[in-house]
Structure 1
Amino acid sequence: MMQTKLGAALCVAGLIAASGATAAGAAAPTTPAAKAARTAPAAATAADRRFAAIHQAEWRWRVEQRLANDDKSPRRVRPELPRVDAATQALRLAYWQDVLRRLDDVKPAALSAPERINYQVYRAQIAAFVEELRFREFEAPVNADSAFWTDVTYGARQPFAAVEDYRNYLKQLASLPRHFDEQAANMRAGLARGFTPPKVTLKGRDAALASVAGAKPEDTVFYTPFKTMPASIPAAEQEALRAQALAAIREGVQPAYARVLKLMREEYMPRARDTLAAASLPDGQAYYQSKILEYTTISMSADEIHRIGLAEMAKIRAEMAVTIAQTGFKGDLPAFLNFLRTDPRFYAKTPEELLMRAAWTAKKFDAKASQYFGYLPRQRFAIRPVPDDQAPYYTAGRGGPGVYLVNTYNLPARALYSLPALTLHESAPGHAFQMPVALEQKGVPPFRRAYISAFGEGWALYTERLGVEMDIYETPYEVFGMLSYQAWRASRLVVDTGVHAKGWTREQAQAYLRENTALSSHEVETEVDRYISWPGQALSYYLGQMAIMEARAKAEKALGAKFDIRHFHDTVLQLGSVPLPVLASRIDRFIAEGGPSPYPKEG
């Protein structure tokens, strides 16, 4: 879909809930923020109390809307999919606009220091919700990367622990036809006003619908949790639950998929817009600017970002030249890229080989972790292949709490020299590390669990560079793989703004990636389609990394010998996920305090 901040937050929240990766039960550290939160009743200002009343009431409403889990009584599996019809969305817009008005009556300067951070995070979050609904993004719930019919399968891929999980899941399946009908109505409304992804990016995106609509109920992804059930559930009850699941899939889920499949093939895909740019959408220039702010959390124009991208690409190209010389290769960059794309030594022969190489890099990080991080999250992560029904159009990998997904589809497109950088980004110390650290913080309000792309993706990209310091890369080819990934993200600044603000064609965007990165042709095509149908999201990575690197350079210069890389990393990650200006302010305070660990010494 045109993945919204709300949609992304819901998706991440669903993965967290399904994996059991909540802060409950974790031996989370006692942080300064936690101390402040515990003493808040005595030390809270009047502004603190006013702000707390606003966000606590809004969060209760959000839970009632099925947009979030109740932290006081978290459900691993939600018993109902949220309502997404136009009338409900209009009510949500009015509600969040009112919240925003009340927030603007709170003076940030009157808040205590911890609440000032909370306020900045929360206001940006609510403002993004308002903008998404104001532009009616819900009318385009599909894009080249994901769609509502794939989003709803995430829960089915997670293990269930208790009989209540299965009962809630059956209720969720019962709500799916209603949810899909509402999404279909939204798609038709978007189609009527020209608010769709570009037609060219939708090719083949009906395959996941067909895989469910035409299969046996027991062969669909929705039956997966019932294939292996906990022994604690009596055999007779297991059989009853399985029978209910098969009936729900056959009578409700599959007909819903079939209806949307018909819509996609007969109406939506043929009539989707031919233009590419977000600027060509209704009120498109303002819309694209809103996505820039949402995904980067800073106010910049498309022209500014484009210029930064070109400048950064020039720097990376210089680094590439040095690394190519270290390999001993005789030839220019295009010849070297062709060599990398065609030499079989750089590609796994089997999916298992690719997975094992990813696991090897992850374990190499473990050996170095304590030298770069003072606090290590309790939660571990699994390494799994991307599900077959998603793999053809999925990215090379994706990570989060408890899992690192590696795409084993089309092995000649999955370069081994890029795998170490990918693994650092998606597993540890990237997403599968950063997110659990955030979840294990105590004393923060539940809205702080949301994912902010500029911070999360910026951190993950920063860890790819960190791999050089950690000696993760063993050959110049692997270093070049890291540089290619850096160029890939820097080129997004050029390509995203080029397509959405400067009139670039799909072919121009693909050519830019091919000429400046070692990405395979398959990856170039899927990535460009992702940027075309998901305006602004691609900008978050490199701008986020730049903010973290600038903050680190500032701290190193100011603190000199007192700078401790573990304290810096812990301070960044302890924040959770925040807008980039909040990160900059926190590092200024880190410097002013002398660069201490954010966690108290034990004993």
Structure 2
Amino acid sequence: MDWDSMEKKKLSAVISTAFVVMGLAMAPAASVAAAPAAGKTAQATPADARFKDIYTREWKWRVAEKLERDDDAPDASRGFARVDAPAQEARRVYWAGILKQLDAIKPASLSPAERINFAVYRAQIASLHDAQVFREFEQPVNADSAFWTGVTYGARRPLKTTQAYRNYLDQLEGIPAYFDEEIGNMRAGLARGFTPPKVTLAGRESTLLSVTEAKTPQDTVFYGPFKEMPSTMPAAEQEALRRQAVAIIADKVQPAHAKTLAFFRDEYVPKARTTLAAQDMPGGKDYYQSKIVEFTTTNLTADQIHAIGLAEMAKIRAEMHAIMQQVGFKGDLQAFLQFLRTDPQFYAKTPAELLKSAAWTAKRFDAKADQYFGHLPRRRFAIVPVPDDQAPFWTAGRGGPGMYWVNTYNLPARPLYSLPALTLHESAPGHAFQIPLAQEQKGVPPFRRAYISAYGEGWALYTERLGAEMGIYETPYEVFGMLSYQAWRASRLVVDTGVHAKGWTREQAQAYLMENTALSKHEVETEVDRYISWPGQALSYYLGQMAIQEARARAEKALGPKFDIRNFHDTVLHMGSVPLPVLQQRIDAFIADGGPSPYPKEG
């Protein structure tokens, strides 16, 4: 649903006001210039060499600490990083030193490409350092995920080589020691009141139970890679690896999960804090502001974000009422939302139906992709259901490189009218499209492939609106589903700041989402608990979308008939994840250059 010029003007005014007070966490005084055009090389400066030496050494240190993976050695044994208190303090000291070195460099002395790298890198290091200062490692669990769910991701990926299987077994061997260190961190967090609110932890032990209550090691998620092994691997070798896996899972993995379960259920949850706000945690307002900086890449305050959310909600409600008139609904918004939540026509009857509907939307995008994008990622994605042990507390869907997970748990909570917007956001042209493009970048430092939430979530939310322009939504109800999702993300600006800075209750936050979106009661409850236990993350989406929409409106106005939507999208995506003000300055350069594609012409 394309906005008319008046709506774009209003949006530009709101976001421009926001950007006046933004300022970056890394806040270099000099502006960020565009990277050189394809085929051109800017002259390197002495400052470039100093900066490159800093980030090259620091990245090698991160890899040695097992905080990052070495792309040049994909089969290298990784294991677990140390996460105990001495290792965490050493990281704080190290990153503090890196910040001091970076602050000795004037961004204006760097070449254009390195100026962008500097803006991204300094914000990244500042975020890593702040997390250590506030000792976030003492809370390795929230309503959405936990350290023990993180270790299952390797078990859900196919392994292709003997070395990969051996590395995986080494990781399984290391689980007991890793879990013990994390339990130590959680005890330290308990001692100072740095935990998720108790109310958000109810039932979160289910992912531990799925391992501890498995009848055999083969029934656990960790045995998954051994169920289908490469046909090129000799049968005897396959059998030997399977025997090792069974023994390690039985002797080490399951006992480690049982120990963690007992701690979580008997000690951690009973003693977790009963307050909700981040401002009630150690560090208070400074801690919450650090999360705002991390997740929005701005210095906006909670009050400013709350006001933006309220203003945007008013606009979206007006659009919702227009759809209600279009379908001839007689009644108010609350009656319409109740109709959408309860009428069987809007819900899949089987998990397969939901998955197939998601696939249909994904293929509809494929038919339009070349009209809106000039450069496509090489990597494709699969559509799969969310694992049973995680589904009750997960979002409706989640996407990333090679995968789009659709939550088929509790089908009456998964409306079909919202599925097209969800699919665009999580698959293509959202996360399963944008993240591979960032990973496929050539000639950039490895830290540039990191994910910046305001950019990544902002882009994915922007693609939901883009779906209306592309003709993806087939009915007014699907358009309303998109608007409901827009309201959901705008509501987050209100709810997150309401809970963490304005004293809102859990019930107040749930009521706000129920009154302003078509989300089911189940989704509202799981989402609110996610925001309560993960301060600031919910702010990424709508502020990021606003920045992209403002940049597009500005480019359309300045370039007129020269504006090419494919070139604009390619330019936004070509950079990979960047802080929002850096994106704005890149679009300034895009406009000044006449709106060209960032990719070289073929042929």
TM superposition score category, shorter chain reference: over 0.9
Local SS of the residue matching 1:405: strand
- What corresponds to 1:438 in structure 2? 438
Query: Deviations 1:553-578 (Å, cap 9, x if unpaired)?
Result: 00000000000000000000001000
Is residue 567 from structure 1 mapped to residue 545 from structure 2 by the alignment?
no
**Could you list the runs of 5+ residues in structure 1 that have no partner in the other structure?**
1-30
Distance 1:443 1:472, change over 3 A: same
Residue 32 of structure 1 and its aligned partner are, at CA, apart by 4.8
Q: Distance in 1 between matches of 2:239 and 2:464?
A: 48
User: 1:122: which partner in 2?
Assistant: 121
- Corresponding position of 1:248: 248
The equivalent of 1:298 in structure 2 is 298
Amino acid at match of 1:351: P
Counterparts of 1:598 and 1:176 in 2: how far apart (Å)? 45
Counterpart Cα distance in 2 of 1:165 and 1:327: 55
**Aligned partners of 1:33 and 1:444 also within 8 Å:** no
Residue number in structure 1 paired with 2:10: none
Give me the whole-angstrom Cα distance separating, in 2, the residues matched to 1:253 and 1:422.
35
Q: Does the 8 Å contact 2:142/2:534 carry over to 1?
A: yes
Tell me, yes or no, if structure 1 residue 530 matches structure 2 residue 530: yes
- Alpha-carbon separation, structure 2, partners of 1:132 and 1:100: 14
1:506-517 matches, within 5 Å, as 506-517=506-517
How far apart are 1:78 and its partner, in Å? Answer: 4.6
Distance 2:444 2:248 in 1: 39
Going from structure 1 to structure 2, the CA distance change for 1:329 and 1:376 (only over 3 Å counts) comes to same
The residue number in structure 1 matching 2:26 is none
Native 8 Å contact 1:96 1:130 kept in 2: yes
What secondary structure does 2:232 align onto? coil
The alignment partner of 2:488 has SS state of: helix
Say if 2:600 is the partner of 1:600.
yes
AA in 1 matched with 2:212: A
Contact preservation (8 Å) 2:38, 2:598: no
Aligned partner letter, 2:547:
A
Paired residues of 1:292 and 1:539 also in contact (CA < 8 A): yes
CA distance in 1, matches of 2:126, 2:74: 26
The yes-or-no answer on 1:373 pairing with 2:373 is yes
Partners of 1:159 and 1:33 in 2: CA distance: 39
* Aligned residue runs from structure 1 range 397-546, under 5 A: 397-546=397-546
Are 2:92 and 1:93 equivalent residues in the alignment?
yes
Alignment partner, residue 80 of structure 2: 81
The farther-off stretch of 480-489 and 246-255 is 246-255
Q: C-alpha separation between the residues in 2 aligned to 1:448 and 1:79?
A: 21
What secondary structure does 1:159 align onto?
A: coil
In 2: Cα distance, 1:281 partner to 1:79 partner: 34
Tell me the equivalent position of 1:342.
342
Task: Report how far residue 422 of structure 1 moved.
Answer: 0.1
AA in 2 matched with 1:174:
E
**Partners of 1:472 and 1:253 in 2: CA distance:** 45
Offset, 1:74: 2.4
Structure 2: how far apart are the matches of 1:210 and 1:439?
35
Supply the distance in 1 between the matched residues of 2:483 and 2:463 (Cα, whole angstroms).
13
Displacement after TM superposition at 1:33 (Å): 7.0
| Aligned match of 1:108 | 107
Name the counterpart of 2:137.
138
Helix, strand or coil at the partner of 2:55: helix
The CA distance in 2 between the partners of 1:197 and 1:410, in whole Å, is 25
Aligned residue for 2:319? Answer: 319
| Secondary structure at 1:417 match in 2 | helix
Matched, 1:211 2:206: no
Q: Which amino acid letter does the alignment assign opposite residue 522 of structure 2?
A: H
Q: Which residue of 2 aligns with 1:27?
A: none
Read off the aligned partner of 2:539 and give its amino acid letter: L
C-alpha separation in 2, matches of 1:577 and 1:182: 32
Residue identity matched to 1:179: Y
What TM-score, normalized to structure 2? 0.93
Relative distance call for 1:476 and 1:597 in structure 2 (3 A) is: same
**Segments ≥4 residues shifted beyond 3 Å:** 31-36
Structure 2 residue matching 1:384: 3-state secondary structure = strand
The answer on whether the counterparts of 2:458 and 2:541 sit within 8 Å (CA) in structure 1 is: yes
Residue 170 of structure 2: aligned partner: 171
The answer to whether the 8 A contact 1:32-1:599 is kept is no
2: distance between equivalents of 1:74 and 1:589? 36
Structure 1 partner of 2:13: none
What's 1:548 paired with? 548
**C-alpha deviations, 1:374-417, integer Å up to 9, x for none?**
00111100000000010000000000000000000000000000
Looking at structure 1, the residues matched to 324 and 74 of structure 2 have their Cα atoms a distance apart, in angstroms, of: 52
Matched AA of 2:376: L
2:361 and 2:305 map into 1 onto residues whose CA distance is 33
Paired with 1:380 and 1:211, the residues of 2 have a C-alpha distance of 30
Between the aligned partners of 2:166 and 2:237, the Cα distance in structure 1 is: 11
- Please give the alpha-carbon distance, in whole angstroms, between the structure 1 residues aligned to 2:77 and 2:556: 46
Match of 1:272 in 2: 272
Look up the match of 2:22: none
**Structure 2 CA distance for partners of 1:292 and 1:538, relative to 1, 3 Å:** same
Shift, 1:214, TM fit: 2.0
Which amino acid is the alignment partner of residue 83 of structure 2?
V
Cα distance in 2 between the residues matched to 1:423 and 1:274: 36
Indicate the residue corresponding to 1:152 in structure 2. Answer: 151
1:426 and 1:35 mapped to 2: Cα distance? Answer: 33
* Cα shift at 1:79: 3.2
Could you say what the CA RMSD is over the residues aligned between the two structures, in angstroms? 1.0
How far apart are 1:71 and its partner, in Å?
2.4
SS in 1 for 2:144: coil
For the 8 Å contact 1:35–1:443, the answer to whether it is kept is no
**Residues 199-252 of structure 1: per-residue CA shift (max 9 Å, x gap):** 000000011111111212110000000011001111001011001111111111
Q: TM-score, normalization: structure 1?
A: 0.93
- Partner AA of 1:288 in structure 2: Y
1:176 partner amino acid: I
Alpha-carbon distance in 1 for matches of 2:384, 2:269: 32
Contact 1:571 1:597 in 2 (8 A): yes
CA distance, structure 1, for counterparts of residue 338 and residue 209 of structure 2: 36
User: Secondary structure in 2 aligned to 1:398?
Assistant: strand
Structure 1: distance between partners of 2:453 and 2:74: 24
Q: How far off is 1:439 after superposition?
A: 1.2
* Counterpart-to-counterpart distance in 2, 1:223 and 1:73: 25
1-side partners of 2:185 and 2:39: how far apart? Answer: 45
1:587 aligns with 2:582: no
Residues 78, 473 of structure 1: alpha-carbon distance in 2 compared, 3 angstrom cutoff? farther
Return the offset for 1:475.
0.5
TM-superposed CA distance for 1:471, in Å, is 0.4
Which residue of structure 2 aligns with residue 221 of structure 1? Answer: 221
Q: Distance between the aligned counterparts of 1:573 and 1:181, measured in 2?
A: 41
Contact 1:97 1:130 in 2 (8 A): yes
1:486 shift after superposition: 0.1
User: 2:181 — aligned with what?
Assistant: 182
Distance 1:72 1:429 in 2: 28
Q: CA deviation at 1:429?
A: 0.3
Q: CA deviation at 1:72?
A: 2.2
Please state how far the C-alpha of 1:81 moved relative to its aligned partner.
1.3
Q: Partner of 1:162 in structure 2?
A: 161
Would you say the 8 A contact 1:34–1:444 is kept in 2?
no
Deviation by residue 1:76-105 (Cα, 9 ceiling, x = unmatched): x75301111111000011001101100111
The 2-side partners of 1:33 and 1:354 are apart by: 44
- Residue 328 of structure 1, CA deviation: 1.4
For the Cα contact (< 8 Å) 2:38–2:599, is it kept in 1? Answer: no
Q: What does residue 25 of structure 1 align with? A: none
Tell me what 1:199 maps to.
Answer: 198
